[in-house]
């Protein structure tokens, strides 16, 4: 319908995708024709396929073959989680037309990425920092890149990545196609547009998360002493929930405390290894746990369609963070609920923040057991008794050499998975499916078991959490 090649249509149909999102309808004709495109849309608006489809289609139709160390397409993203998930979307499309893909980001070993470039790879999905490192070391050159994509450009600006992004783009051919997607054009993003896009066609769809009609916003005032109990009640529903904290330490301790209280939860923050981050996110996405506790920085990489409830356990300090956190729910046309918890001394700051975000929330003063909490969460899930921690192996006593247990070597693993199911605002959830990465090299995490904050692997929760979800 929009000029998408039949092989790619077949892949999308097999995934249950049979109609385009507005951002895809708006941009695909121009991007497939090779024009530079500036796409403005909120997170969750379907941007990944909006650039993934034309990137793969144009590369497949282009003459020539990929040379070692010289990829033909580049996608730049701000976070590891986002790079992983974008790769999961693009990889099946690339495989269908015989193209290879890889991911490049820090926090994992560099050697697999070096090997991927040495063999030759068509499409690179990367974060700027590690890519620049590999360029400086001579493992990759970008002088044959035909299509370049910048996704979440506004967040790359927020994180201070624009100088590196400019250095990277300066090494790509000036005549190549460039696609830039961003929710806003402030903080230097407009400079990228003027400097690197040639007569771009601009398409704006759902410019601001605050205009999302299917998100119901609430601000609940709580006494500081009662806040932990209120958080537990909000996390107790059968639906999938995401809780935001301001610090990594709070995310870790809150996930552990919820788990110990019979509410399986995992955390996501910068102190985790990449392997642990991948496994915790996969456990949340695949339904092994129903609660994810995350920090602001990690939030940008989270793309799960069926999150029914977002809770700002710690109110964000500025409105852009509020809008992006809140955008984790009501994705793909679903509805959702956003709750901000404030103590009495935070009321002024929260009011100013929501006003700047263009939000008029429903307000209430609540205590544990308040009917408003049950209304927000829906039916409560059965509590899951945490399995006992695995006992540490006994320490060898006395002297002697060479008789201890050999150290276990760490391997690599990069579990992937995705899927979504429709959900009502206060109903159950659905999820399933997984996407492989095909002939891709690049990332991997630690092979150690990914322990939950309570010291247990996410897999240990599978049986109990399944009963709690009632699915």
The pLDDT tens digits for 152-205 are 898 888 888 999 999 999 999 999 999 999 877 777 888 999 999 999 999 987
Task: Give dist(CA 297, CA 294) in Å, integer.
Answer: 8
The predicted pLDDT at position 92 comes to 97
Q: Residue holding tokens 């956003």?
A: 338
The predicted pLDDT at position 459 comes to 42
Q: Residue holding tokens 């560099």?
A: 110
* 268 in the same domain as 186: no
Does the residue 12 lie in any domain?
yes
Domain of residue 192 covers 6-205
* 176 in the same domain as 40: yes
Domain boundary among the residues 357, 377, 397 is at 377
- 459 DSSP assignment: G
* 231 in the same domain as 137: no
* 45 in the same domain as 189: yes
What mean pLDDT is reported for the chain? 82
Burial of 394 (0-12, 13-18, 19+ CB in 10 A): exposed
* 335 in the same domain as 194: no
Rounded percentage of the chain residues whose pLDDT exceeds 90: 58
Instruction: HSE, CB side, 13 Å, CA atoms: give it for residue 234.
Output: 31
Q: Where are the alpha helices (DSSP H) in 139-273?
A: 153-158, 162-170, 189-196, 227-234, 248-260
Parallel, antiparallel or unpaired: strands 445-446 and 412-413? antiparallel
Does the residue 393 lie in any domain?
no
Burial of 400 (0-12, 13-18, 19+ CB in 10 A): exposed
Does the residue 59 lie in any domain?
yes
* 15 in the same domain as 106: yes
pLDDT band at 321 (very low <50, low <70, confident <90, very high): confident
Say yes or no to pLDDT of 5 above 50.
yes
Burial of 265 (0-12, 13-18, 19+ CB in 10 A): buried
Domain boundary among the residues 180, 205, 230 is at 205
Arithmetic mean of pLDDT, 65-94: 94
- Range in 50-59, 255-264, 273-282 the model is least confident about: 273-282
What's the order of all strands across the beta sheet hosting 37-41?
A: 201-205, 37-41, 177-181, 147-150, 73-76, 123-126, 101-104, 440-441
* 353 in the same domain as 230: yes
**Between residues 63 and 243, the one the model is more confident about:** 243
3-state helix, strand, coil in the chain (%, to 5): 40, 15, 45
* 157 in the same domain as 47: yes
* 254 in the same domain as 175: no
Burial of 163 (0-12, 13-18, 19+ CB in 10 A): exposed
Does the residue 403 lie in any domain?
no
Does the residue 426 lie in any domain?
no
Say yes or no to pLDDT of 51 above 70.
yes
pTM of the entire structure?
A: 0.65
Cβ(243)–Cβ(381) below 8 Å: no
Does the residue 278 lie in any domain?
yes
Burial of 287 (0-12, 13-18, 19+ CB in 10 A): buried
**Between residues 332 and 8, the one the model is more confident about:** 8
- Selection from 107-111, 213-217, 409-413 with the highest mean pLDDT: 107-111
Does the residue 121 lie in any domain?
yes
Pair of tokens at residue 259: 């788990």
CA-to-CA dists, residue 203 to 29, 152, 180, 182, 338, angstroms:
12, 15, 11, 11, 28
Domain boundary among the residues 157, 182, 205 is at 205
SS3 67: strand
Domain count within the chain: 2
| Helices and strands counted in the chain (H then E) | 17, 17
**CATH number of the domain to which 303 belongs:** 3.40.50.300
Burial 218-256 (b: 16+ CB within 10 A, else e): bbbbbeeeebebbbbbbbbbbbbbbbbbbebebbbebbb
pLDDT band at 383 (very low <50, low <70, confident <90, very high): confident
* 223 in the same domain as 174: no
Beta-carbon contacts of residue 294 (< 8 Å; ≥ 6 apart): 242, 243, 244, 245, 251, 267, 268, 269, 302
* 187 in the same domain as 120: yes
The residues facing 412 across adjacent strands are 446
């Amino acid at each position: 319908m929009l000029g998408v090649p039949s092989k790619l249509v077949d892949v999308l149909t097999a995934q249950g995708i049979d109609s385009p999102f507005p951002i895809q309808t708006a941009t695909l004709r121009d991007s497939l024709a090779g024009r530079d495109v500036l796409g403005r849309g909120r997170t969750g608006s379907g941007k990944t396929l909006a650039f993934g489809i034309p990137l793969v289609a144009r590369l497949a139709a282009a003459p020539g073959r990929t040379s070692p160390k010289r990829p033909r397409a580049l996608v730049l993203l701000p976070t590891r989680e986002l790079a992983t998930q974008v790769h999961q979307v693009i990889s099946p499309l690339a495989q269908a037309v015989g193209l290879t893909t890889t991911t490049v980001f820090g926090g994992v070993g560099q050697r697999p990425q070096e090997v991927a470039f040495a063999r030759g790879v068509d499409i690179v999905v990367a974060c700027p920092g590690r890519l620049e490192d590999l360029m400086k070391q001579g493992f990759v050159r970008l002088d044959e890149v035909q299509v370049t994509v910048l996704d979440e450009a506004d967040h790359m600006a927020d994180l201070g990545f624009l100088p590196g992004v400019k250095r990277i783009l300066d090494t790509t051919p000036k005549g190549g196609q460039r696609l830039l997607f961003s929710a806003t054009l402030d903080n230097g993003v407009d400079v990228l547009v003027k400097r690197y896009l040639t007569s771009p066609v601009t398409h704006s769809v759902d410019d601001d998360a605050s205009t999302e009609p299917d998100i119901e916003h609430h601000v609940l005032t709580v006494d500081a002493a009662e806040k932990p109990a209120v958080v537990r009640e909000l996390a107790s529903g059968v639906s999938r929930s995401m809780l935001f904290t301001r610090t990594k330490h709070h995310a870790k301790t809150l996930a552990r405390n919820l788990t110990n209280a019979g509410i399986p939860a995992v955390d996501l923050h910068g102190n985790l290894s990449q392997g642990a981050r991948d496994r915790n996110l996969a456990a949340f996405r695949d339904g092994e746990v129903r609660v994810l506790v995350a920090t602001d920085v990690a939030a940008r990489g989270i793309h799960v369609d069926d999150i029914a409830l977002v809770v700002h356990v710690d109110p964000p300090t500025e409105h852009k963070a509020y809008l992006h956190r809140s955008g984790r729910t009501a994705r793909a046309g679903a509805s959702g609920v956003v709750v901000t918890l404030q103590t009495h001394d935070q009321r002024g700051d929260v009011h100013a923040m929501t006003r700047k975000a263009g939000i008029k929330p429903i307000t209430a003063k609540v205590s544990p057991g308040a009917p408003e909490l049950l209304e927000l969460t829906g039916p409560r899930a059965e509590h899951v008794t945490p399995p006992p921690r695995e006992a540490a192996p006994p320490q060898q006593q006395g002297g002697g050499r060479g008789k201890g247990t050999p150290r276990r070597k760490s391997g690599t693993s990069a579990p992937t998975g995705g899927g979504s199911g429709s959900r009502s605002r206060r109903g159950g959830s659905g999820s399933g499916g997984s996407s492989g990465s095909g002939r891709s090299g690049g990332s991997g995490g630690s092979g150690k078991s990914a322990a939950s904050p309570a010291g247990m692997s996410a897999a240990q929760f599978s049986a109990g959490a399944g009963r709690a979800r009632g699915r």
